[in-house]
Structure 1
Amino acid sequence: MKLLDLALWACTAIALALPAAVSAAETRPAAKISAAVTKGRQKIDGIDYYYEIHGKGEPLLLLHGGLGSTDMFGAVLPQLAAHRQVIAVDYQGHGRTPLGDRPFSCQANADDMAALVAKLGHPQVDVLGYSLGGCVALRMAIQKPASVRRLALVSAAYSDEGFYPGIRAQQNGLTAAAAPMMKDTPMYQSYAAVAPNVDEFPRLLDTLGDFMRAHFDWSAEVKQLKLPVMLVYGDGDMYRPEYMVKFYQLLGGGLQDAGWGRETLSQNRLAILPDLTHYDIFASPRLATTVLPFLDGTKDVKSWAEQVEAAH
């Protein structure tokens, strides 16, 4: 039977497989997440958000991919929590957070994330968002710039123009009709294991499908961002490489040589990690080692000029 890949909106990693065809990536066992320091809920704009807090240090808001939950970061969360206080949130309709009665949008969830971290005592946080979570993270930086210090976007998009041919058409087909086909997939099984109301799953698919089918292009707003931004993709991602570069250029990067002493290097970064796809980059240990230096504002190499000066 045919494997149907539905990429949730501009940035969601989802493989909808018929029972007889489950991808190899889906069959990998999930890594266990370290014991949470704190688990709690915050009700914001009618949505009862579930969150976990891991580790100590500067706050880092962690946002998962579509049809996932905080659990999907099991492989990298301990790495992040060893350096940061990680605030991992199940956003609207996902994981342990109910869908509620309002439509889904990255814009509304972005406002809610800013309100949530403020309620937790953090007027400003670093944010790492993967896929659909990257959509929420990007909108948070656009709509609530004072709430975000540094932003790491993993396999995320600023518009719907970057996909390989056919992906957009597949997205348009996401509806509740897909729910029965998903009963044997890890997406549904992980949802059913923690969701407050499993019967909401078909409505979640309809709600996300409605959101995904809408055209979007936030390039003008991306150009106005002032905070440091890091883009991270896999070399086997769902986005075309030229789109990744265009995103970086909209942020002001990739427009000129950085200079001997890095004097014209952009504050923003682009990383394309080898041997990773949209569907496994969130579980790679290399993700944490890539984003942490950026989030900390550090670098692990001296320029040639600095090396010469140190040697003499």
Structure 2
Amino acid sequence: MSEKTYLQALNEALRHEMERDENVFILGEDVGQFGGCFGVTQGLFDDFGSERVMDTPITESAIVGAATGAAVSGLRPVAELMFVDFIGVSMDQLFNQAAKMRFMFGGKAKVPMTLRMPQGAGISAAAQHSQCLESWFMNIPGLKVVIPSTPYDAKGLLVSAIRDDNPVAFLEHKLLYGVSGEVPDENYSIEIGKADVKREGSDVTILATSKMVYEALEAAERLKADGIEAEVIDPRCLMPLDKETILESVKKTHAFVVVHEAVQYAGPGAELAAMVADEALDYLDAPIKRVGAPFCPVPFSPPLEQQYIPGADEIVEAVKSIR
């Protein structure tokens, strides 16, 4: 293994899959010679050319629509939206077309399309460029939702997303691009829909997604000083969801806290909390707690933005309220 950043891991996954399968191509705004808004596609234009790394007009509806049509035709497009916030422009192409085609054609049509979308707050990009919208995608049957937190997971899951015969919403937190970790140099894949236990514990289950995994791990270390051993689980995928790993942990710890950066109201934690309540209520010794952002647009002001983003303090407080 080598030490690589999250960004480098994604770039490697794209390169490996483009070398392996000539049907894989990239499209999006500034993904070509510029190398992508955040640099994920850097160098790929030089190696694969303009027919496989395609700069598009600034129109998300065309990007997602073209990717959908290409996928149905037998190619494997990897489309990049510069920010997840722009998905609203292409709702129909994604939710009514890509996600439903296989069902509406009785399984005869495949839509092997990956839609990469940076999301998250922390760089003062303000309300229209900082949201976490994973709960939107979770609500659409036919769409897989992947949200990796580590460089290792990012590379393996992007490879699996590209190889999948269904449309995949692949969500990348902007502040994770510079995070480093050990990543194999060779190509590898991680099963979509398999959670990962990032830290074992016996007293409370903390389920955290994306950047909040690191906040949960910090909270777990602080809780350890108070004699509370927290188990931290990263679902890595929200659809399909690895319910078995989550429920087994809850049955062991008898307490559950779910953490995400998306707004708490109707956020992904609402479904995850409901699932645990439905299927493991008898094992709980305390109420389920959710930690998420307040129900307001993301502030531009750096001090206000930091107040808006949940972190280890809120997680510790939530755990101590039930333990």
Q: TM-score, normalised by structure 1?
A: 0.34
Q: Which has the higher contact order (CA 8 A, sep 6+)?
A: 1
